[in-house]
Structure 1
Amino acid sequence: MQQSRHWYLGPLASFDTETTGVDVESDRIVSAALVLQPAPGAAPRTTTWLADPGVPIPDAARAVHGIGDEHARAHGRPPRTVVAEIARALADQARTGVPLVVMNAPYDLTLLDRELRRHRGCSLTESLDGTELLVLDPRVLDKHVDRYRRGRRTLTDLCAHYGVVLDGAHDASADATAALELVRTLGTRNPQRLGRMSPAELHLRQAVWHAAQAQGLQNWFDRTGTPERVDFSWPLRPARCGCGRRLEPEHRCELAA
């Protein structure tokens, strides 16, 4: 009974990517990791992927994660294969009902969705084959429980604030592991506000919280004359064409290699 009430004491998974850049519509996955921890303090089990993205890795991206073109070509696998394996792993994870931690989920999950559309002709939702991810986003959760705290809220900043060890930032497995521990800490420190909800309820609430947080940012942009537009969608941004219409995949989703 305790585990059902306090999800942060039970099994959690965590997903992270390293990429060629920050544009989810055009950039590519270079590496990814899925970490599973059955309980607090237990040894995590990690699956990693390295892709040859098929496009040059910019110097700015290489400076962040340390993976360059030569290494990706020599050791990475075709992106078509890698994104299919990632999608299958996430689908398997979703079927277990274990929550999936994704720091800034609209970035990583949207970029994975676009890669699946690019290389497999299907969306992330379709690739989950009828299952649904129960996403826990430490960025959204932190903004909800500590709305007015000043300062940046990157993974590095949040780990420093909550005393979570981040050993080897901008490595997909290290970032995923730290994000998982960060979410456990958020639950432990906020048992009344977060711990009593089920992962399914938290998933639904985060979509609402993120929209409110995005609206606040958009209001600030509008007041300061900044032309940037904020996307309110969470945990996945819908694909759209130039006219703004939502896109659907044109082909049947096939994840077999």
Structure 2
Amino acid sequence: MRSWHRLPRAAFDLETTGRDPATARIVSASVVVADSTGRFIGRHEWLADPGVEIPEAATAIHGITTARARAEGRPAAAVIAELSASLRELFDARVPVLAFNAAYDFTVLAQECRRWSLPDPPRPFPVLDPFQIHRELERHRNGRPRTLVALCEEFRVTLTRAHTSAADAAATLVLADALAVRWPELQMPARWLHELQIVWLRQRAERRAAHLRREGWAEADLPGPPPWPC
């Protein structure tokens, strides 16, 4: 059975108004598609008017101002509906979708669908997250960042125009391939690796809970496992 990195695959990225996935609004979104050799064969990009002011701190990251979003962006509900449809088509075809810190992007998308009274987004399966994969296979960073920019530099993946959704999505796809080369144990069907990431997250949560218990935390105060990818 061929590994996910030798089959068609896609990547997904959002730029938003903030860090909290419960309140962040989508400003731009991209889905890039690659064939079995890794050659890019499709790209879909959206610019949305999020319906709220874009904080200066967010603009400083992705470069999109409130004025530009209002002048050039399409209504948020229309963008979110099209983005959900694009992802649904990929998942229905069993094409794995890669996303760096996928829990954030898919949570934002789900919240936006609820906010605009749209149908629920597609069940995200299979999803592969280079952030979570790298976090498991290289647990100790000794203070080094584990951002997309940092990992692209480390794995010699070209990332121009960082923090634009299209560039970040394309780099995520190439970075994932680089991880599969460094760690051949990642070379498996996408659905297997999706499920393995769930196991890793659960085990990480259990280790964290055990540590907090030793620190004297009450059972009711322990954090639950993070969403995957929700």
* TM-score (normalizing by structure 2): 0.90
- Residue in structure 2 matching 1:164, options 133, 148, 157: 157
Query: Which secondary structure does the structure 1 equivalent of 2:74 belong to?
Result: coil
Q: How does 1:94-243 map to 2 (within 5 A)?
A: 94-124=91-121, 128=122, 133-150=125-142, 151-191=144-184, 193-195=185-187, 197-216=188-207, 223=215, 229=223, 231-236=225-230
1:11 and 2:8 aligned: yes
Instruction: Give the superposed CA RMSD.
Output: 2.2
The one-character-per-residue Cα deviations of 1:174-225 (angstroms, maximum 9, x if unpaired) are 000000001111112211x210x21111111101112333444566778599
Q: CA deviation at 1:109?
A: 0.3
Contact 2:8–2:38 at 8 Å: present in 1 too? Answer: no
Q: CA deviation at 1:95?
A: 1.4
Letter in 2 for 1:234: W
The structure-2 alpha-carbon separation of the partners of 1:42 and 1:221, relative to structure 1 and needing over 3 Å to count, comes to same
Query: Which secondary structure does the structure 2 equivalent of 1:203 belong to?
Result: helix
Residue segments in structure 2 that go unaligned for 5+ positions in a row: none
The structure-2 alpha-carbon separation of the partners of 1:114 and 1:229, relative to structure 1 and needing over 3 Å to count, comes to same
The structure-2 alpha-carbon separation of the partners of 1:215 and 1:60, relative to structure 1 and needing over 3 Å to count, comes to farther
In 2: Cα distance, 1:201 partner to 1:97 partner: 13
Q: Which position in structure 2 is the counterpart of 1:81?
A: 78
Residue segments in structure 1 that go unaligned for 5+ positions in a row: 237-257
Letter in 2 for 1:198: P
Letter in 2 for 1:190: W
Contact 1:29–1:51 at 8 Å: present in 2 too? Answer: yes
Query: Which secondary structure does the structure 1 equivalent of 2:139 belong to?
Result: coil
Query: Which secondary structure does the structure 2 equivalent of 1:5 belong to?
Result: coil
The one-character-per-residue Cα deviations of 1:86-112 (angstroms, maximum 9, x if unpaired) are 000000011111110011011000000
Between 211-220 and 98-107, report the one with greater CA deviation.
Answer: 211-220
In 2: Cα distance, 1:26 partner to 1:218 partner: 27
In 2: Cα distance, 1:121 partner to 1:9 partner: 35
1:52 and 2:44 aligned: no
The structure-2 alpha-carbon separation of the partners of 1:136 and 1:167, relative to structure 1 and needing over 3 Å to count, comes to same
The structure-2 alpha-carbon separation of the partners of 1:20 and 1:219, relative to structure 1 and needing over 3 Å to count, comes to farther
* TM-score (normalizing by structure 1): 0.81
Contact 1:207–1:233 at 8 Å: present in 2 too? Answer: no
Aligned residues: 225
Q: Which position in structure 1 is the counterpart of 2:19?
A: 22
The structure-2 alpha-carbon separation of the partners of 1:149 and 1:216, relative to structure 1 and needing over 3 Å to count, comes to farther
The structure-2 alpha-carbon separation of the partners of 1:29 and 1:106, relative to structure 1 and needing over 3 Å to count, comes to same
Q: CA deviation at 1:231?
A: 4.7
Contact 1:114–1:123 at 8 Å: present in 2 too? Answer: no
Identity across matched positions, percent: 39
